[in-house]
Amino acid sequence: MTPTTALLRDVLPGVSRSFGLSLRLLPTALATPLGVTYLVARAADTIADTRAFPPSERERLVEALRTALRTGDARPLEPLAAHVSPGHSSAERGLLERLPDVLAAHRALTPADRARAEAVLLTLTQAMLDALRRFPPENAGRVEALETLAELDRYTYTNAGCVGEFWTDMVLAHRPSCRGWDAPRMRQLGARFGQGLQLVNVLRDLPRDLRIGRSYLPRTELASLGLKPGQLLNPANGPRLRPLVERLVDAALDCLEDGAAYTEAVTRREVRLRLACALPLLIALGTLARLRAAENLLDPAVLVKVPRGEVRRHIAWTPALAFSNRAFRGYVGRLRATTQSPRPPRPGIDPGAATSSGASG
């Protein structure tokens, strides 16, 4: 067993539930570079989120990590784990303790894989820096919001859409059976897939993000409903927010339609790759159904989560779905039907605009 394989086995399962499931399904040639890249991104996210340091120090540490990606010098980050324990799990602390090993694994990737990984990691970490500079400290007692739907679109792209493009590039590089793909179209579908998954996260985590001063629901859209960002801290305003929630659920569904198209485009010879794409899609659809049905997403007591039994059911079905696009479409269609709104979606949200307008990773 290589040091990188041992690292992925020992560290990654503790810091990722959903991605860890997909990673275990992937062929090794893909699982290794994707897993290493995930660990670097997860470490950066842990640094950006820790309350052990003020935002300015977190910015400095994330910048140091970005420099370490280019130089391989992890020494400025080595004492980090000793200072970030408050509020973090033992798995997150363990990840930071192993950060020099994670960066060494990144440096051990092939030059082409390392270049692709570095590009997406620089996009992801820049998004973290932007958030630290934009939003108030967690204990500031106020809520700041993104301004427009275009900013929400950019947020979902820089936090997840770019990962869909990276995933596509890695598949094209490592799976000969997929080299007949229309690469530009698959990158676009991959970006939309990632953006849809991130929109699901935005809605699912809404009350918890608000309580650390962050609203990813745009100020302009809130104003159209007569709301200000700070008013979202009051669960009594949940019914007033509902029209925007409905629109964003519909927008996420549109993105996940492209995710389904992406999954279908994976040749049925690549069973493990198809399963790795299908599983997050199915979980996201189940989450959207619960978001649609939730009484009040502003209530911090409302926890929207797909139960483990349903995840196990999806896992049990996915091998059969991997061999039949018709069966896959039928299964996805039934899940999508549980998310349908009794009202037609309102126009005006295009979560794919960042990619179509020239944004890149």
Question: Average pLDDT per run of 10 along the chain, which is 361 residues long?
Answer: 85 81 85 95 92 90 93 76 60 87 94 97 98 94 97 98 98 95 98 98 96 97 98 97 96 97 94 92 95 93 89 83 89 91 42 42 34
- How far apart CA 285 and CA 301 sit, in angstroms, is 22
CA atoms 209, 130, 288, 88: torsion sign? negative
135-352 belongs to CATH 1.25.40.340: no
- 3-state SS record for 275-321: HHHHHHHHHHHHHHHHHHHCCCCCCCCCCCCCCHHHHHHHHHHHHHH
Residue 52 confidence (pLDDT): 81
- The tokens for 158 are 């820089």
Tell me the residue type at 6.
A
Closest to 136 measured CA to CA, from 205, 215, 204:
215
- The tokens for 202 are 């935005």
- How far apart CA 306 and CA 312 sit, in angstroms, is 10
Residue 102 confidence (pLDDT): 93
Helices 28-49/162-174 angle, 10° precision = 160
Closest to 19 measured CA to CA, from 35, 3, 43:
35
Helices 3-10/99-107 angle, 10° precision = 130
| CB of 279 closer than 8 Å to CB of 318 | yes
Closest to 203 measured CA to CA, from 120, 278, 303:
303
Return phi, psi of residue 144, to 5°.
-110, 150
Helices 308-322/325-337 angle, 10° precision = 150
What CA dihedral angle connects 292, 298, 299 and 300, to 10 degrees?
A: 110
Q: What is the pTM of this model?
A: 0.90
Annotated domain spans of the chain: 1-111+122-129, 135-352
Residue 318 confidence (pLDDT): 76
Show the CA angle centred on residue 320, arms to residues 317 and 323, nearest 5°.
145
Residue 243 confidence (pLDDT): 96
